[in-house]
Structure 1
Amino acid sequence: MTHTYNISNMTCYGCVAKVKSELLKLGDILSVDLQLQAPQATITMQKHIPTSVLQHAISNAGENYKISEADTSMHHTTTADDTAATTNSYFPIFLIFGYITGVTLLVQAAQGGFHLMQWMSHFMAGFFVVFSFFKLMNLKGFAEGYRTYDVVAKAVPAWGFIYPFVELALGAAFLTSFNPMITNAVTLVVMGVSTIGVVQSLLKKTPFQCACLGTVIKLPLSKVTLFEDLLMVAMSAIMLVLL
């Protein structure tokens, strides 16, 4: 769906860039077309986002920007199309999890049996390598998005640039069985801290774009994000206990 809004107090193209950047960080926004002369914003979104949420987002740009509805037909109720759009937005992450699960189970089948520790190690290797790949495709974009909800990246912005390389290193460590005790302990800490930011954002009920797949694939921050973080926490904890 596409809606038009009026935005006041934008005085230059730098303002346009800042407002657009903050709006695109919201998980359900697909595109933003901003005009300085009007000034108006045409926003395409997967599902209706309250104007109050949009206002909260652009307030992060650091200026006294105000957003208001420009069209009169924006009172919205959830439809079947909206539900389908929300489901479809999670399809990439479900597909990735399916591929990783399938490949790692095939490896187990080729070895003639199922070994839980080895399968979890391979699964986590695939998870970290694939997810770091998407983040590294636009490292700056990921860092900016991750900073909107991660507790460490908020305090230390450089962490957003370092995190994908930590994931890549963990993927390589799991794949090569490098010092399982250290590898799982680091994973438990890193993913546990990451979970804190996700939980805080979900409790605030403010839409954010999930940075788990970088900026290439837009996903709303949701319980799906929480599940994937907790899954890594649980697997690393189980492996530490079984070592």
Structure 2
Amino acid sequence: MKKKAEIYRMVTPDHLCPWGVKALDLLKRHHFEVKDHHLTSMEENKRYKEENRVDETPQIFIEGKHLGGYDALREHLGLSPDPQEGETYQPVLAIFAVTFLMALSTTWLTLGSLSLIRVAELFIAFSMCALGIQKLQDLKGYATGFVQYDLVAQRYVPYAYVYAVIEAGGGILMIGGLFTWVVAPIVLIASSIGAVSIFKAVYLEKRDLKCACVGGDSSVPLGFISLTENLLMMAMAIWMLTQAA
């Protein structure tokens, strides 16, 4: 026999509460028989909260007992908070996973085989482009995080913006092997500075910082993954130079 639940959520012609939608979905996926009550106007929503002395909607009841809002429901079901709280490497790992698969599919399309060298080249170049996009979409927010640890940006803030362009532009040109003798040395210098800056901040000074690698308002901790980003860029630049020699 299914457990019974009731939910009071805001559903108006102008606004559909996303937390209400997600709460309803959770209840259904956990096999509750749900009675869905719609609060169809801002006034009705406000009145419901005042009458029931709650600060938010949706509000959920399980087997007639008041549970609370969306967060309380997730906790009741043994689920992690939404949105995720605290530090996470998920944004960077997601980028690396997608760019690696892009490198595989592109190599197969162009060569008809999976050349490990070409896969590695494209993986690094695609990753540079993707990470550069993350920085370029909010340059000011990204720069605020970058200047906290980058040795050059601490002395000359506009370098933070230059670094984002170097990363994205370098990746684009490296995909096609264009202007190698200009691009590769610039990328090598910028990524070397980045690697030294991160090593100093994290491993020598033991500072607890967020990485600006995925742009502003990052929840990614500065550390090994961030250092790896710069080391991959250094390796790519050196490899391109040896291939062009």
TM-score by length of 1: 0.60
- Give the paired residue count: 160
Which residue of structure 1 lines up, in the alignment, with residue 97 of structure 2?
A: 98
Alpha-carbon distance in 2 for matches of 1:135, 1:120: 23
Q: Which has the higher contact order (CA 8 A, sep 6+)?
A: 1
Alignment of 1:198-237 (within 5 A): 198-202=198-202, 203-237=204-238
**Higher Cα Rg, which structure:** 2
SS state at 1:219 partner: coil
1:175 alignment partner AA: I
Contact 1:124 1:174 (8 Å CA) reproduced: no
2:127 alignment partner AA: F
Alpha-carbon distance in 2 for matches of 1:132, 1:164: 5
Which residue of structure 2 lines up, in the alignment, with residue 108 of structure 1?
A: 107
Q: 1:241 to 1:116 in 2, by over 3 A?
A: farther
Which residue of structure 2 lines up, in the alignment, with residue 178 of structure 1?
A: 178
How far is 1:197 from its partner? 0.6
Residues 36-79 of structure 1: per-residue CA shift (max 9 Å, x gap):
xxxxxxxxxxxxxxxxxxxxxxxxxxxxxxxxxxxxxxxxxxxx
Structure 2 residue 114 is the aligned partner of structure 1 residue 122: no
How far is 1:117 from its partner? 5.0
Contact 2:140 2:216 (8 Å CA) reproduced: no
Residues 98-124 of structure 1: per-residue CA shift (max 9 Å, x gap):
111111011112221234554344223
- Choose 221-230 or 115-124, whichever is displaced more: 115-124
1:187 alignment partner AA: V
Which residue of structure 1 lines up, in the alignment, with residue 150 of structure 2?
A: 150
Alpha-carbon distance in 2 for matches of 1:217, 1:85: 12
2:190 alignment partner AA: V
Alpha-carbon distance in 2 for matches of 1:121, 1:187: 14
Residues 148-169 of structure 1: per-residue CA shift (max 9 Å, x gap):
0001101111111222122221
Which residue of structure 2 lines up, in the alignment, with residue 131 of structure 1?
A: 131
Contact 1:134 1:216 (8 Å CA) reproduced: no
Q: 1:120 to 1:186 in 2, by over 3 A?
A: farther
Alpha-carbon distance in 2 for matches of 1:162, 1:239: 21
Alignment of 1:186-205 (within 5 A): 186-202=186-202, 203-205=204-206
How far is 1:220 from its partner? 0.8
Which residue of structure 2 lines up, in the alignment, with residue 46 of structure 1?
A: none
Contact 1:135 1:214 (8 Å CA) reproduced: yes
- Choose 231-240 or 130-139, whichever is displaced more: 231-240
How far is 1:234 from its partner? 1.8
Which residue of structure 1 lines up, in the alignment, with residue 39 of structure 2?
A: none
RMSD: 2.2
% identity of equivalent residues:
26
How far is 1:227 from its partner? 1.5
Alpha-carbon distance in 2 for matches of 1:91, 1:186: 29
2:108 alignment partner AA: A
| Structure 2 gaps, min length 5 | 1-79
Q: Which runs of at least 4 in structure 1 moved beyond 6 Å after TM superposition?
A: none
- Choose 181-190 or 114-123, whichever is displaced more: 114-123
Which residue of structure 2 lines up, in the alignment, with residue 166 of structure 1?
A: 166
